[in-house]
Chain A
Amino acid sequence: MREIITDLQRWQAQGKKIAVARVVDLEGSGPRLPGASMAVSEDSQVAGSVSGGCVEGAVVVEALEVIATGQPRMVTFGYSDDEALAVGLTCGGTIHLFLEMLDW
């Protein structure tokens, strides 16, 4: 979360609601280690990343739902083959993300 701290502080100072997604676990080959994080503000600004760009779009959608409901959630992204339209990692790994509001 270190890399996104200044963005989080700026958004907090602007009074924005924020959701933070963190990689907590990965299986197999993955681009980012546990602790990699990404934040989304209620007005859809984004800071940081949790993969090599494969799942960030889907994380924004999940994060906005976390802001809307106020409820934390775990989200898992696995391998996606080229035929499927589903969001996933092309590298063959699986990442587990924890998403929560920045209200602590």
Chain B
Amino acid sequence: MAETPLFDRLATLLSNEEPVALVTVIDGPKTGAKLLVRPLSVTGSDVWEGTLGNEGLDRVAARDARGELAAGRSGVRHYGTHGEAREEEVKVFIESFAPPPQMLIFGAVDFTGALVKVAKVLGFRVTVCDARPVFATHQRFPQADEVVVDWPNRLLEKVGPSLGARDAVCVLTHDNKFDVPAVVAALATEVGYIGVMGSRRTHDNRLQRLTEAGVDQAGLDRLRSPIGLDIGARTPEETAVSIMAEIIALHTGRSMQALSATSGPIHD
């Protein structure tokens, strides 16, 4: 029985948004040989598909590939022909395919539709959540991966543990009744970005409500509120760009200034 080609396996895993790393020998006796590696947490045991031509090499490369995958990094590694460290006979390229970052948008408002579109362009998996069934519909947000009719804090109880540094929560409701529990629940996660929409006045008022709800200064400091960078955005689309630019810059740790006003390397 013919085995499924590795490329087809890779394509299937990617379309299911599963984490996977592809290891390719780029220099050595078996140039072009490949290994498809998935996280131990998914496979449950130390298995991989394909081979680099030697069992010892496969084992070491699979271990390194899992490390790179967990860190979301791709790069070159060197080994001996049996997987020995500090040797150079075999050069491999580990390409990590981490699952896409997630964005949760709370509030099914006009700004939400534009933010969904721009976040999709940037490769996010987007969930829109609003407690009002009239507004939270697939018809209004056809590009969203998921539209959930529920209270934000209830959704966060479910998906919060899966959120990490690359992910984002955007609270666009600007209604204290919805935002305060949403922000409190988002702060309980490891999510990298929490943006909260509202005017300066709404923001000041919300800070007070959040403090009353028991949020400390460290929690308040994590909030990007009012949401977005100051680019003079007015329309929902412009606002979406302002929010996404802030998400990117916060993740990369860059200055958020115009490159024309700064010096030094453009890419880290």
Q: Give me the interface of A with B, judged by CB distance under 8 Å.
A: 1-2, 5, 8-9, 12, 22, 24-25, 29-31, 33-35, 72, 74, 91, 93, 96, 98, 100, 102, 104
A57 nearest CB across to chain B (Å): 22
A74 and B27 contact, CB distance less than 8 A: yes
Residue in contact with A104 in the complex, picked from B5, B75, B96, CB distance below 8 Å: B5
Which B-chain residue is minimally distant from A35 (CB atoms)? Answer: B74
Q: In the complex, A31→B267 CA distance in Å?
A: 7
B residues with a Cβ closer than 8 A to A are 5-7, 10-11, 14-15, 22, 24, 26-27, 31-32, 34, 74-76, 93, 95-97, 265-267
Residue from the set A5, A9, A91, A98 with the largest chain B CB neighbour count within 10 Å: A98
> Contact at A104–B76, with CB atoms within 8 Å?
no
Q: Does A72 lie within 8 Å of B5, measured CB to CB?
A: no
| Contact partners of B26 in chain A: CB under 8 A | 24, 72, 74, 98
* Interface CB pairs A-B, < 8 A, 17: A5-B11, A5-B14, A5-B15, A8-B7, A8-B11, A9-B11, A22-B93, A24-B93, A33-B74, A34-B95, A35-B74, A74-B26, A91-B266, A93-B267, A96-B76, A100-B32, A104-B6
- Identify the closest chain A residue to B22 (Cβ): A1
Assembled-state Cα–Cα distance A12/B8 (Å): 11
Prevailing SS type, chain B contact patch: mixed
Given contacts A9-B11, A35-B95, contact A104 B34 (CB under 8 A): yes
B75: chain A residues at CB < 8 Å are 24-25, 34
Q: Is the CB of B34 within 8 A of A72?
A: no
Most A CB within 10 A of own CB, among B6, B27, B74, B96: B74
Q: Give the docked Cα–Cα distance between A5 and B24 (Å).
A: 17
* Complex CA distance for A93 and B265, rounded to whole angstroms: 11
Residues of chain A within 8 A (CB-CB) of B27 are 74
Bound together, the chains give a CA A74 to CA B93 distance in angstroms of 12
Chain A residues, Cβ within 8 Å of B24: 98, 100
B47 → chain A closest CB, angstroms? 19
Q: Are B95 and A1 in contact (CB under 8 A)?
A: yes
List of A residues within 8 angstroms of B11 by Cβ: 5, 8-9
Q: Are A2 and B14 in contact (CB under 8 A)?
A: yes
Question: Closest A-chain residue to B6, C-beta based?
Answer: A104
Residue of A nearest to B267 (CB): A29
Across-interface contacts of A12 in B (CB, < 8 A)? 7
- Would you call B7 and A102 a contact (CB within 8 A)? yes
